[in-house]
Structure 1
Amino acid sequence: MTPRKAISLRLDPAVHDAIARWAEDDLRSVNAQIEVLLRDGLCRAGRLPGTTGQLPKRGRPPKKPPQQTET
């Protein structure tokens, strides 16, 4: 998986509240909702790079099976 870039983002509180409500409706985190909105805007403007990876799958990652120890 490609490393994710962490950024600091300042938003008007009303904009943040609207995004938070939308994210809750879509069962996403606010961070994931912002990424969806940014990707959608980039795609509509024809500026989404072709090398952009897919969004991570929603939900919890699968549990790794326990490692077996040799005796």
Structure 2
Amino acid sequence: MARETNTRSFVLRVDAATMEALEAWAEDEFRSINGQLQWIIADALRRSGRLKKCRPQAARADAPDGKPATPAASNNPAKEPES
């Protein structure tokens, strides 16, 4: 019995320089080219407010309890002490 899926396929043509940059970016992020393209598109859709339903984020591997880790302190700059 075939597994049902919600994914659709299409052909994408890109120039060689774009493909090389995409391959390098995907490799840096430890993703396949297809996975990188899906991430780029989903990110752009979220940022533009066009993605109606967000996928739940997978738990981060560095969190021992399987819950996403809290944001790093560098993302939340502390207020300077008042004088």
TM-score (norm 2): 0.56
1:12-68 Cα shifts (integer Å, max 9, x gaps): 211111110010011110000000000001111100122x6558xxxxxxxxxxxxx
Could you list the runs of 5+ residues in structure 1 that have no partner in the other structure? 56-71
Give the C-alpha shift of residue 5 in structure 1: 0.8
Deviation above 3 Å: which 4+ runs of structure 1? 52-55
Task: Name which structure has the greater RCO, CA cutoff 8 Å, separation 6+.
Answer: 1
How many equivalent residue pairs?
55
Larger Rg: 2
Could you list the runs of 5+ residues in structure 2 that have no partner in the other structure? 58-83
**For residues 1-71 of structure 1, what are the structure 2 equivalents within 5 Å?**
2-50=5-53, 53=55
- Give the CA RMSD over aligned residues: 2.4
CA distance in 1, matches of 2:18, 2:37: 11
TM-score (norm 1): 0.65
